[in-house]
Amino acid sequence: MSLRNVGIVYRKELTEALRDRRTLVSSILIPLFLFPILTFGIGYAFVEIAGEATREPSKIMILGGEDSPDVVKDLRVARNLRVVRRSADYVDLISDKKIRAAVDIPPGFQAGIMRGDHPEVKIYIFKDDLKSMLGASRIEKLFTEYRDAMVRARLASENLPESLMKPFDIDQQNVVSDEKVAGESYGGLITYLVILMCMTGAMYPAMDLTAGEKERGTMETILSSPIGRTHLVFGKFLVVLTASLATATLSVISMGGSFAILSRFARDQSMGEGFPMLTMHPKTVLAVFIMALPVAVLFSAVLMTISLFAKTFKEAQSYLTPMTFVVIVPAIAAVLPGIELTSKLALVPILNVSLLCKELVTGTYHWNYIALIFFCTCLYAGVALFLAVKMFQRESVLFSS
């Protein structure tokens, strides 16, 4: 193996790739700008919508309650509620989102409570609709306060302590580091992103350097030069790998940056509570990249081998599009909650790395899995690379006509 020859091919192919608009857009521009736009777009929309919903009073309807003036008055004066005129078609109004909720106060509600009956208040809602749920919780809060006040008054009238109402407290406390919390929230997403970007970055150069070379008629030119075909494949492969890793790196940097800015923005808006900060140690980032390396090798070699069968760039695209799904499905599977790494899953390509990296991001290092998965992926990558070299030796593939 002559490194000099591989280097010559690498330098030339890289020069050409950097002069190709399609490669530049897909490998550099998209990862750099997609995430800030996505993060800020979605984040801004979320903050705006959530903000609007919390500022705006919920339109509700009161059904019944003529003989319970106190609660009706509380509902009417509540700042975050706006009571509309009663009508019989409240179900349609809720379905059409004209009102957010309706509260059904049974006849003789206040009197019933005094007698010691156990009346029930019904709140009609549009399940899982954000604004309807918000309206309902506002109504419920009001009734809960009304109930608590009543209990307090009764306790006081009997000269009993208030603590009788609540004999003990419950408090949930987080004992896990911020790093792990952030990893649990974003770990799957980051891993998914790295894997997907390894693929996206490799795609255009892989097609351009194989099918593109055939389409432009330069395959015969290069094959007539003294360079050995193995050197040629390695030179090309390294360029595809470079693009793959560059895209993955750029997207993680750009996503990390966007998240950092977004979480600062959210904190400034005093919405920082419950918004886990994306903090990752350089060590973790490095670990994820080391695991991503054989994955990038695998993608680069597989994509190159497949596109070599195509005669044109377009044909290669139609072969590689289904490949995208083959990669996305296991990567998504790892993001789903509940799937954990087992020794069987550790053998499934892509899914294994995806699951492992998710754990790495939370700061958990299972060294036996790390070794097994790294070895496995290297093995798959080696096989793919071997196939790419073999395909470059086949005349029927190089000169398919």
User: Residue numbers of the site for other proteins (CB under 8 A)?
Assistant: 5, 8-9, 12, 15-16, 19-20, 216-218, 220-221, 223-228, 395, 399
Tell me how far the alpha carbon of residue 89 is from its chain's centroid: 40
Sheet holding 58-64, edge to edge: 81-84, 58-64, 101-105, 122-124
Which residue in the block uniquely carries the two structure tokens 């290069």? 222
For the bound state, the minimum distance from the C-beta of residue 208 to other proteins, rounded and expressed in Å, comes to 10
- Write the DSSP symbol of residue 226: S
For the bound state, the minimum distance from the C-beta of residue 306 to other proteins, rounded and expressed in Å, comes to 21
For the bound state, the minimum distance from the C-beta of residue 16 to other proteins, rounded and expressed in Å, comes to 4
- Determine contact, residues 201/242, Cβ cutoff 8 Å: no
For the bound state, the minimum distance from the C-beta of residue 197 to other proteins, rounded and expressed in Å, comes to 24
- Determine contact, residues 105/68, Cβ cutoff 8 Å: yes
- Determine contact, residues 331/195, Cβ cutoff 8 Å: yes
For the bound state, the minimum distance from the C-beta of residue 227 to other proteins, rounded and expressed in Å, comes to 5
H or E segment at 103?
A: strand 101-105
**Residues in a beta bridge with 84:** 61
Counting DSSP H helices and E strands in the chain, the numbers are 16, 4
For the bound state, the minimum distance from the C-beta of residue 242 to other proteins, rounded and expressed in Å, comes to 17
Phi and psi, residue 186, nearest 5°: -115, -10
> How far apart (Å, rounded) are the C-alpha atoms in residues 365 and 302?
29
Task: Provide the residue type at 43 as one letter.
Answer: G
Given the complex with other proteins, which of 152 and 216 has the nearer CB atom? Answer: 216
Given the complex with other proteins, which of 83 and 211 has the nearer CB atom? Answer: 211
**Residues in a beta bridge with 82:** 59
Q: To 10 degrees, what angle do helices 282-308 and 367-393 make?
A: 30
Largest separation between any pair of C-alpha atoms in the chain: 103
> How far apart (Å, rounded) are the C-alpha atoms in residues 191 and 368?
20
Please count the residues of the chain: 401
For the bound state, the minimum distance from the C-beta of residue 182 to other proteins, rounded and expressed in Å, comes to 43
Given the complex with other proteins, which of 4 and 344 has the nearer CB atom? Answer: 4
For the bound state, the minimum distance from the C-beta of residue 2 to other proteins, rounded and expressed in Å, comes to 9
